């Protein structure tokens, strides 16, 4: 985000980026501890449109075992296209539409997934981190900045990379509990409302 700010806004004098905060209701007291890698439940949140790159996930699921599932929350103009592919190939993916209670829904899953081509500050990712989930993300700079690289990353140029990372998770290569703790601590450090107020106050004091 800092690089995008410098490139596209182009203010030459000293400047800072103030991250948005997310609603208190998303912050779990503790990160998730128990994961069912034998029936791994993935969740994605975001509008069904080009930016989110859901066809990548659909393609990846064509070669994943049925024990791995994905629920996608959101609506958009790609619903018919995505649903057609899911139905044709009998994939273990559900398009779940819009929900207003994602703070209650997110903790039901084992892993948050985001396959975006590009992002600004993805609130759905911050909400998943606050809910205590480990995250698996497309390997783009803005998502690395948000997570502090406390995530499992996959290449958008090779869908097989996603599949292999999922298999590695299933076979225990990654410590999902440790990733969840790191994500939870990271988001608390800048996206909690109380921290946002402190950061804003600091900016005013510097002026």
- pTM of the entire structure? 0.90
> Is residue 21 within 8 Å of residue 192, measured between CB atoms?
yes
Only one residue has tokens 């779940």, namely 96
pLDDT tens for each residue of 139-185:
999 999 999 989 999 999 999 999 999 999 999 999 999 999 999 99
Structure tokens at 56: 């990548």
CATH class for the domain made up of 38-195: alpha beta
Q: Which of 103-137 are b and which e, b meaning 16 or more Cβ less than 10 Å from the residue's Cβ?
A: bebbbebbbbbbbbeebeebbbbbbbbbbbbbbbb
pLDDT tens for each residue of 70-99:
999 999 999 999 999 999 999 999 999 999
Structure tokens at 29: 């007291």
Only one residue has tokens 């207003």, namely 100
């Amino acid at each position: 985000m800092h690089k995008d700010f410098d490139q596209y806004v182009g203010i030459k004098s000293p400047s800072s980026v103030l991250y948005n905060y997310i609603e208190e209701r998303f912050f779990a007291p503790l990160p998730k501890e128990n994961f069912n890698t034998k029936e791994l439940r993935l969740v994605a949140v975001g509008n069904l449109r080009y930016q989110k790159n859901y066809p990548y996930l659909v393609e990846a699921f064509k070669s994943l075992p049925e024990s791995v599932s994905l629920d996608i929350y959101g609506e958009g103009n790609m619903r018919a296209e995505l649903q057609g592919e899911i139905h044709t190939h009998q994939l273990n993916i559900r398009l779940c539409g819009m929900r207003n209670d994602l703070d209650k829904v997110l903790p039901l899953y084992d892993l948050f997934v985001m396959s975006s081509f590009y992002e600004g500050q993805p609130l759905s990712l911050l909400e998943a981190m606050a809910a205590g989930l480990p995250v698996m993300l497309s390997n783009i700079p803005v998502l690395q900045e948000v997570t502090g690289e406390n995530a499992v990353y996959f290449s958008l140029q090779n869908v097989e990379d996603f599949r292999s990372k999922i298999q590695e998770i299933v076979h225990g290569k990654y410590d999902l509990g440790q990733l969840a703790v790191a994500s939870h601590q990271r988001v608390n450090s800048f996206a909690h409302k109380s921290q946002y107020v402190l950061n804003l106050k600091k900016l005013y004091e510097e002026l």
